[in-house]
Amino acid sequence: MDVTAIIMAAGEGTRMKSNHAKVSHKILGKPMICWVADAALRAGCNRIVVVIGSHADEVRALLTGAYGDAVECVEQTERLGTGHAVRVALEATGINKGPVVVLNGDLPLIQPGTIASFAQTVAEGGSAAAVLTMTPPDPFGYGRIQLDGAGAVERIVEQKDCTPEQAASLLECNAGCYAFDGAQLAAHIGEIGCDNAQGEYYLPDMVEILKSAGQTVSIYHCDDYREGLGVNSRAQLAELTAIARDRINNRLMAEGVTFIDPAQAWIGPDAAIGRDTVVWPQTHLIGACVVGEDCQLGPNTRLTDTRVGDGCSLDETVAIDVVVENDVTCGPRAYLRPGTHLLDGAHVGTHVEIKKSTIGEGSKVPHLSYIGDTTMGAGVNIGAGSITCNYDGKNKHATVIGDRTFIGSDTMMVAPVHIGSDAITGAGGTITKDVPDGALAIERTEQRIVEGYTERRRARL
């Protein structure tokens, strides 16, 4: 069964008070529109069409970067309502058969199973359309579903049109998503009119149009009303972020992960954490992070697109696009920049920054150092305050350090430079030439002692 998902993402989102598209705002590090597109893909939708409009270039670039050709963008240059948006999508893509599910781009909590089951309501030919419904604790503001004696949709009563009796008795609410038989949708979408105060074409009008054509419109009730919650303000963005956080953390705890305080850990939807790992407060995992078993994450740790092996401890560590192997310790206050690779048993200590470097097995960069564009062997010790001087103002240059080498404190390694295995550099040296295996490199001026200097200086003051 070929299922098409049309995702509505053309709106202005004026209540967000933002210079960016509403659907580009992130929940746990991931744009809202990507939550919906991911759910549609995992639901088995064969074709994903996103209708863009406001901030079209921004949303198109976001989707292209995330999905390539797997998601199509159709621009609604005139925003004339939801019915018009669907018509634009149909005309641009030629879709005219199979189930078509219309979703909103600001519904980040909708689940793949819900979308798949929703599409199934029109796949077998019993209904020409279905409305996704829910029963939120407070139904105020939602369109209410009025059913006939057979359980089909009789009409949708908008909040402003509800009588007090209807408001009290009609608790089934319209979540704003629709499933259509593609042939019926294509045949009747042009019948939506704009005879209303806003002069717009509203997709809910399809209910009456299809019923007038002798078709049946059913409902698909969403048991978890939160799947139908949308984002129209910063407050709602924070509210749904908290719900998404709790969902993810509860799932991870059920899989064997410990959270010291689940309300203070923000784990993205694409992250994975192994059992017996402990997540401390103020820990963030953004993007495609994978963390192994028996690790300690945090407190105050932020990982982005980073892979961590088993038995690691990352305390107050920021890591971006990094690979950390097994039994590695980092922090507190370590900064691992893109391209960093820490091999088994490596240690990165306090106030250390590493960029695009490999730190060998069991090697240590304990404190107050910068290592950039470096390949380091096994068993190396980097003394405090040491720096690889990798940038000459125009180009970056590489440093190579062999196995078991000891770099004395406050050593400046001016790249390009190769320091061999089992070598030693004296503290305070500036190494500008290659150092052979097993050699000692010392670069210092001769120490000079000026006797009586303090007394003479005080006499001058």
SS3 label, residue 392: coil
Q: Which two structure tokens, joined as six digits, stand for 21? A: 């598209």
Does the annotation place 106 within a ligand binding site? yes
Is 390 marked within a binding site?
yes
Distance CA 32, CA 107 (A): 7
- The answer to whether the annotation marks 384 as part of a ligand binding site is yes
Q: Give the separation between CA 257 and CA 297, rounded to whole angstroms.
A: 11
**416 preceded by a cis bond (ω within 30 of 0):** yes
- Catalytic site residue 20? no
Residue 64: how many other CB atoms lie within 10 Å: 13
Query: Can you tell me the distance from the alpha carbon of 36 to that of 107, in angstroms, rounded to the nearest whole number?
Result: 7
Catalytic residue among 55, 188, 347, 367: 367
Q: Residue 358: CB partners within 8 Å, gap ≥ 6? A: 340, 341, 343, 374, 375, 376
| 427 annotated as a binding-site residue | yes
Determine if residue 42 is labeled as part of a ligand binding site: no
Beta-ladder partners of 407: 382, 425
CA 158/CA 260 separation, integer angstroms: 45
**Quick one: 6 exposed, middle or buried, by C-beta within 10 A (0-12, 13-18, 19+)?**
buried
Q: Is 211 annotated among the ligand-binding residues? A: no
Interhelix angle 112-123/32-42, rounded to 10 degrees, is 50
Cα four-point dihedral sign 176, 177, 181, 182: positive
CA distance 119 to 209: 20
Residue 164, preceding bond cis, omega within 30 degrees? no
Please name which of 60, 62, 61, 63 lies closest in space to residue 76, comparing C-alpha atoms.
60
Nearest to 174 by CA among 214, 223, 141: 141
**Separation of alpha carbons 283 and 331, rounded Å:** 14
Task: Tell whether residue 82 is among the known ligand binding residues.
Answer: yes
309 in a labelled binding site = no
* Contact criterion met (CB below 8 Å) for 418 and 400: yes
Instruction: Kindly state the helix (H) or strand (E) to which residue 245 belongs, with its residue range.
Output: helix 234-254
Flag whether 381 is marked binding.
yes
Which helix (H) or strand (E) segment is 351 a member of? Answer: strand 347-355
245 is in an annotated binding site: no
143 is in an annotated binding site: yes
Reduce the DSSP state of residue 254 to 3 states and report it: helix
**Three-state DSSP state, 203:** coil
Residue 409 in marked binding region: yes
Cβ(441)–Cβ(435) under 8 Å? yes
The response to whether 19 counts as a known ligand-binding position is no
Binding residues for acetyl-CoA: 384, 390-391, 409, 427, 444
Numbered residues of the known binding site for Mg(2+): 106, 232
| Catalytic residue numbers, as ranges | 367
Which residue numbers belong to the known binding site for UDP-N-acetyl-alpha-D-glucosamine? 22, 76, 81-82, 143, 158, 174, 232, 337, 355, 370, 381
Binding residues: 22, 76, 81-82, 106, 143, 158, 174, 232, 337, 355, 370, 381, 384, 390-391, 409, 427, 444
